[in-house]
Amino acid sequence: MRELILRADDLGYSRGVNYGIKDVVEAGLIRTVGVMTAMPDAEHGLRLLDGEQLCLGLHFSACSGSPVSDADQVPSLVDEEGRFYSSRYYRSAREDFVNEEEAVREVRAQMEKFICLAGRKPDYLDCHAAITPKLERALSNTAKEYGVKYSALPVDWAQPIQVGGRLVRYFGGSGQGKTPAEQLRSIVECSGDVCGIVIYHPGYLDETIMTASSLTQQRIYETSMLCSEEAKEILRKGKAKCITYREL
């Protein structure tokens, strides 16, 4: 039986995203949710999910929103307006511009905000959209400091990596010219003993998403699929078992 973690990222990005994640959680398939405490709607998202028994992660961001730390304490991470550099800026940079000490400061700040909002430590820590070697070390070391599992961004999505005590392989919830349902079916049909982590970005479109995110309509399609009976049937027929980071 193939084990899968179906993960919904970006809680807190916007209210439209929050309501989409609320709907897929209530539909029953999503039990793992990544929270962006650097975004202004994080508290709203957690309130919407209050009472749900979920595996919650800190979906650390250094490329969307503004730092939880004072901007003048993390100057290598922010532009002249005190906002995080974009993921495009990270991808186009010719060298690692991140100051590791500042990165650790910001990871700790987002971690502490998560604890304040959720009332507990996250079940895992991962990174949103963009990373550098120094930021990677800051995340990995801070995860160890807090005793939290670190779910690193894969360098090669085709190769498994270790998270907790297990090997896992990442999959995108959409892509390769497939609909989300077709993609889920192909993932379930993959053979092997490695646990799959399938990353989704459910949500509804609002002004924040339309102006700040490169993911727009895909969010709606993934939300619809994750709320459907078709998705549940794909998992049933494929004898796939859904687990969370707590079981890694």
User: Where in the chain are the domains?
Assistant: 3-247
Average pLDDT over residues 200-208: 97
* 4 compared with 176, residue with greater pLDDT: 4
| Structure confidence at residue 191 (pLDDT) | 61
Position 24 pLDDT exceeds 90: yes
131-161 pLDDT, tens digit each: 999 999 999 999 999 999 999 988 888 899 9
Instruction: State pTM to two decimals.
Output: 0.96
Give the least confident one: 47-51, 114-118, 187-191. 187-191
pLDDT-based confidence at residue 204 (cuts at 50, 70, 90): very high
**Three-class SS state of 194:** coil
What's phi and psi for 16, nearest 5 deg?
-60, -40
pLDDT of res. 177: 84
Helix ranges (H only) for the chain are 15-27, 42-48, 87-92, 100-118, 133-146, 180-189, 207-212, 217-226, 229-237
- Spell 160-199 as b/e; 16+ CB within 10 A means b: bbebeebebbbbbbbeeeeebbebbbebbeeeeebbbbbb
Stretch 205-234: mean pLDDT, rounded? Answer: 96
pLDDT at 192 over 80: no
What average pLDDT is seen over the chain?
95
- How confident is the model at residue 155, as a pLDDT? 83
Average pLDDT estimate for 195-218: 96
Between CA 216 and CA 95 the distance in angstroms is 30
Query: What local confidence, expressed as pLDDT, does residue 225 receive?
Result: 98
C-alpha distances out from residue 42 to 74, 87, 114, 156, Å? 21, 20, 9, 30
Whole-Å CA distances, 245 to 15, 84, 148, 162: 25, 28, 10, 12
Average pLDDT over residues 223-240: 97
Pairing of strands 3-11, 161-163: unpaired
Residue 97's pLDDT is: 97
Distance CA 25, CA 22 (A): 5
Which comes out higher in pLDDT, residue 19 or 153?
Answer: 19
- In this predicted model, which residue has the larger pLDDT, 130 or 112? 112
Q: Does domain 3-247 have CATH number 3.20.20.370?
A: yes
| CA neighbor of 159 nearest in space, from 192, 115, 184 | 192
pLDDT confidence tier of residue 32, bands split at 50, 70 and 90: very high
| Alpha-carbon torsion angle 167, 169, 173, 179, nearest 10 | -130
